[in-house]
Protein backbone atom coordinates (compact mmCIF):
# COMPACT_ATOMS: atom_id res chain seq x y z
CA UNK A 1 0.00 0.00 0.00
CA UNK A 2 1.27 3.45 -0.83
CA UNK A 3 0.09 7.04 -0.99
CA UNK A 4 0.96 8.19 -4.49
CA UNK A 5 1.72 11.67 -5.86
CA UNK A 6 -1.31 13.46 -7.31
CA UNK A 7 -0.35 15.56 -10.35
CA UNK A 8 -1.61 19.13 -10.60
CA UNK A 9 -2.81 21.11 -13.61
CA UNK A 10 -1.16 21.89 -16.05
CA UNK A 11 0.81 18.62 -15.82
CA UNK A 12 0.47 16.97 -19.28
CA UNK A 13 -0.07 13.55 -17.65
CA UNK A 14 -3.59 14.74 -16.73
CA UNK A 15 -4.38 15.02 -20.46
CA UNK A 16 -3.59 11.37 -21.25
CA UNK A 17 -6.46 9.25 -22.49
CA UNK A 18 -6.68 6.21 -20.22
CA UNK A 19 -6.63 2.71 -21.72
CA UNK A 20 -9.15 -0.04 -21.02
CA UNK A 21 -8.02 -2.48 -18.30
CA UNK A 22 -7.52 -5.85 -20.02
CA UNK A 23 -7.96 -7.96 -16.87
CA UNK A 24 -8.41 -7.28 -13.16
CA UNK A 25 -5.11 -8.83 -12.05
CA UNK A 26 -3.41 -8.59 -8.63
CA UNK A 27 -1.31 -5.74 -10.09
CA UNK A 28 -4.49 -3.81 -10.93
CA UNK A 29 -5.90 -4.60 -7.46
CA UNK A 30 -2.70 -3.21 -5.93
CA UNK A 31 -3.13 -0.02 -7.98
CA UNK A 32 -6.75 0.24 -6.74
CA UNK A 33 -5.47 -0.08 -3.13
CA UNK A 34 -2.95 2.70 -3.74
CA UNK A 35 -5.65 4.88 -5.29
CA UNK A 36 -7.97 4.39 -2.29
CA UNK A 37 -5.14 5.16 0.13
CA UNK A 38 -4.18 8.26 -1.86
CA UNK A 39 -7.81 9.47 -2.00
CA UNK A 40 -8.34 9.03 1.77
CA UNK A 41 -5.01 10.69 2.59
CA UNK A 42 -5.75 13.75 0.42
CA UNK A 43 -8.64 13.69 1.52
CA UNK A 44 -10.91 13.60 -1.53
CA UNK A 45 -14.30 12.28 -2.61
CA UNK A 46 -12.81 10.51 -5.64
CA UNK A 47 -9.62 9.82 -7.55
CA UNK A 48 -8.95 8.77 -11.14
CA UNK A 49 -5.88 6.71 -12.09
CA UNK A 50 -4.76 9.41 -14.54
CA UNK A 51 -4.31 11.81 -11.59
CA UNK A 52 -1.46 9.65 -10.29
CA UNK A 53 0.05 9.17 -13.75
CA UNK A 54 -1.46 5.72 -14.46
CA UNK A 55 -3.42 6.07 -17.71
CA UNK A 56 -5.86 3.21 -17.06
CA UNK A 57 -9.67 3.34 -16.92
CA UNK A 58 -10.08 3.12 -13.13
CA UNK A 59 -11.52 5.48 -10.54
CA UNK A 60 -12.48 5.22 -6.88
CA UNK A 61 -15.16 7.22 -5.06
CA UNK A 62 -16.28 7.52 -1.44
CA UNK A 63 -19.03 10.06 -0.81
CA UNK A 64 -19.68 9.06 2.82
CA UNK A 65 -19.86 12.04 5.18
CA UNK A 66 -17.52 12.49 8.16
CA UNK A 67 -20.12 10.98 10.50
CA UNK A 68 -20.83 7.96 8.26
CA UNK A 69 -18.90 4.70 7.82
CA UNK A 70 -16.64 4.83 4.74
CA UNK A 71 -18.00 3.21 1.58
CA UNK A 72 -15.33 2.72 -1.07
CA UNK A 73 -16.68 2.29 -4.60
CA UNK A 74 -14.31 1.00 -7.29
CA UNK A 75 -15.05 1.53 -10.99
CA UNK A 76 -12.93 -0.31 -13.58
CA UNK A 77 -13.66 0.27 -17.30
CA UNK A 78 -16.66 2.46 -16.38
CA UNK A 79 -19.24 3.42 -18.99
CA UNK A 80 -21.91 6.05 -18.42
CA UNK A 81 -24.87 4.37 -20.10
CA UNK A 82 -27.43 7.14 -19.55
CA UNK A 83 -27.71 10.69 -18.26
CA UNK A 84 -30.79 12.62 -17.20
CA UNK A 85 -31.53 16.20 -16.23
CA UNK A 86 -29.11 18.96 -15.30
CA UNK A 87 -27.60 20.35 -12.14
CA UNK A 88 -24.97 22.82 -11.09
CA UNK A 89 -22.58 21.73 -8.31
CA UNK A 90 -19.64 23.50 -6.71
CA UNK A 91 -16.77 21.16 -7.55
CA UNK A 92 -13.23 20.82 -6.35
CA UNK A 93 -10.44 18.70 -7.82
CA UNK A 94 -7.31 17.31 -6.19
CA UNK A 95 -5.45 18.33 -9.36
CA UNK A 96 -6.58 21.98 -8.79
CA UNK A 97 -5.93 22.49 -5.06
CA UNK A 98 -7.85 25.44 -3.64
CA UNK A 99 -10.09 25.87 -6.70
CA UNK A 100 -13.87 25.56 -6.20
CA UNK A 101 -16.15 26.37 -9.12
CA UNK A 102 -19.74 25.72 -10.13
CA UNK A 103 -19.89 23.17 -12.94
CA UNK A 104 -22.91 22.01 -14.90
CA UNK A 105 -23.50 18.24 -15.09
CA UNK A 106 -26.28 15.72 -15.62
CA UNK A 107 -28.44 15.35 -12.49
CA UNK A 108 -28.69 11.56 -12.73
CA UNK A 109 -26.42 8.97 -14.33
CA UNK A 110 -26.47 5.24 -14.86
CA UNK A 111 -22.99 3.70 -14.88
CA UNK A 112 -21.75 0.22 -15.72
CA UNK A 113 -18.32 -0.94 -14.57
CA UNK A 114 -16.29 -3.78 -13.08
CA UNK A 115 -15.74 -3.85 -9.33
CA UNK A 116 -12.42 -4.60 -7.56
CA UNK A 117 -13.00 -8.35 -8.11
CA UNK A 118 -13.62 -7.85 -11.83
CA UNK A 119 -17.36 -8.44 -11.43
CA UNK A 120 -19.67 -6.27 -13.54
CA UNK A 121 -22.21 -4.03 -11.80
CA UNK A 122 -24.58 -1.22 -12.69
CA UNK A 123 -25.43 1.74 -10.52
CA UNK A 124 -27.84 4.65 -10.75
CA UNK A 125 -26.67 7.80 -9.01
CA UNK A 126 -27.80 11.33 -8.27
CA UNK A 127 -26.48 14.23 -6.21
CA UNK A 128 -22.79 14.22 -5.21
CA UNK A 129 -22.27 10.62 -6.33
CA UNK A 130 -23.56 11.45 -9.84
CA UNK A 131 -21.35 14.55 -9.97
CA UNK A 132 -18.29 12.59 -8.79
CA UNK A 133 -18.88 9.80 -11.34
CA UNK A 134 -19.00 12.35 -14.19
CA UNK A 135 -15.97 14.25 -12.83
CA UNK A 136 -13.88 11.05 -12.54
CA UNK A 137 -15.08 9.69 -15.87
CA UNK A 138 -13.93 12.93 -17.52
CA UNK A 139 -10.43 12.46 -16.00
CA UNK A 140 -10.13 9.13 -17.86
CA UNK A 141 -10.53 11.00 -21.16
CA UNK A 142 -8.12 13.76 -20.12
CA UNK A 143 -10.99 16.20 -19.55
CA UNK A 144 -10.64 18.48 -16.53
CA UNK A 145 -13.06 20.74 -14.64
CA UNK A 146 -11.37 23.80 -16.17
CA UNK A 147 -12.63 22.63 -19.58
CA UNK A 148 -16.22 23.00 -18.29
CA UNK A 149 -15.79 26.59 -17.05
CA UNK A 150 -16.75 29.77 -18.86
CA UNK A 151 -13.99 31.67 -20.68
CA UNK A 152 -13.36 34.18 -17.88
CA UNK A 153 -13.16 31.63 -15.04
CA UNK A 154 -11.03 29.40 -17.23
CA UNK A 155 -8.45 32.13 -17.74
CA UNK A 156 -8.33 33.03 -14.07
CA UNK A 157 -7.89 29.41 -12.96
CA UNK A 158 -5.35 28.67 -15.72
CA UNK A 159 -3.20 31.66 -14.71
CA UNK A 160 -3.43 30.88 -11.00
CA UNK A 161 -2.37 27.25 -11.53
CA UNK A 162 0.46 28.13 -13.95
CA UNK A 163 1.78 30.82 -11.60
CA UNK A 164 1.75 28.32 -8.74
CA UNK A 165 3.57 25.67 -10.82
CA UNK A 166 6.20 28.24 -11.82
CA UNK A 167 6.70 29.27 -8.16
CA UNK A 168 7.15 25.65 -7.15
CA UNK A 169 9.70 24.80 -9.84
CA UNK A 170 11.52 28.07 -9.11
CA UNK A 171 11.64 27.24 -5.40
CA UNK A 172 13.07 23.76 -6.00
CA UNK A 173 15.67 25.09 -8.48
CA UNK A 174 17.02 27.61 -5.99
O1 LIG B 1 -12.42 15.61 -3.69
C2 LIG B 1 -13.14 15.94 -4.62
N3 LIG B 1 -14.29 16.59 -4.36
C4 LIG B 1 -15.26 16.87 -5.31
C5 LIG B 1 -16.26 17.77 -4.97
C6 LIG B 1 -17.25 18.08 -5.87
C7 LIG B 1 -17.24 17.49 -7.10
C8 LIG B 1 -16.24 16.61 -7.47
C9 LIG B 1 -15.26 16.30 -6.56
S10 LIG B 1 -14.03 15.15 -7.00
C11 LIG B 1 -12.71 15.68 -6.01
C12 LIG B 1 -11.55 14.70 -6.07
C13 LIG B 1 -10.97 14.68 -7.46
O14 LIG B 1 -10.28 15.53 -7.92
N15 LIG B 1 -11.29 13.66 -8.20
O16 LIG B 1 -10.85 13.58 -9.47
NI1 LIG C 1 -10.55 15.65 -10.10
Which residues form the domain of 138? 12-169
Quote the CA–CA distance of 73 and 111 in Å, as a whole number: 12
Ion ligand 2: residues, Cβ under 5 Å:
93
Q: Is the pLDDT of residue 171 over 90?
A: no
Q: Grade residue 170 by pLDDT with cuts at 50, 70 and 90.
A: confident
How many domains would you assign to the chain? 1
List, for residues 112-137, the tens digit of each pLDDT value.
Answer: 999 999 999 999 999 999 999 999 99
Please give all residues whose beta carbon lies within 6 A of any atom in ligand 1, as ranges. Answer: 44-48, 51, 89, 91-95, 131-132, 135-136, 139
Position 132 in a domain = yes
Q: Grade residue 172 by pLDDT with cuts at 50, 70 and 90.
A: low
Q: Quick one: pLDDT at residue 162?
A: 98
Q: Is the pLDDT of residue 56 over 80?
A: yes
Quote the CA–CA distance of 76 and 158 in Å, as a whole number: 30
Position 87 in a domain = yes
Tell me the longest C-alpha to C-alpha distance in the chain: 51
Point out the ligand nearest to the CA of residue 94. Answer: 1
Position 84 in a domain = yes
Give me the CATH number covering residue 162: 3.90.45.10
Position 1 in a domain = no
Position 2 in a domain = no
Quote the CA–CA distance of 147 and 18 in Å, as a whole number: 17
Position 64 in a domain = yes
Q: What is the pTM of this model?
A: 0.96
Hey, whose CA ends up nearest to atom 4 of ligand 1? 92
List, for residues 20-43, the tens digit of each pLDDT value.
Answer: 999 999 999 999 999 999 999 999
Position 136 in a domain = yes
If one residue of 38, 125, 135 were mutated to test the ligand 1 pocket, choosing by the most ligand atoms within 8 A of its CB, it would be: 135
Position 151 in a domain = yes
Q: How many CA atoms lie within 13 A of 168 on its CB side?
A: 11
Amino acid sequence: MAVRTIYHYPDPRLRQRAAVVAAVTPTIQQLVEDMAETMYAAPGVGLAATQIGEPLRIFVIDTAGDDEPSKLRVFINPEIVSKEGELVWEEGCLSFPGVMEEIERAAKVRVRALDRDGEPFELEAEGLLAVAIQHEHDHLDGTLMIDKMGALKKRIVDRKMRRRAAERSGASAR
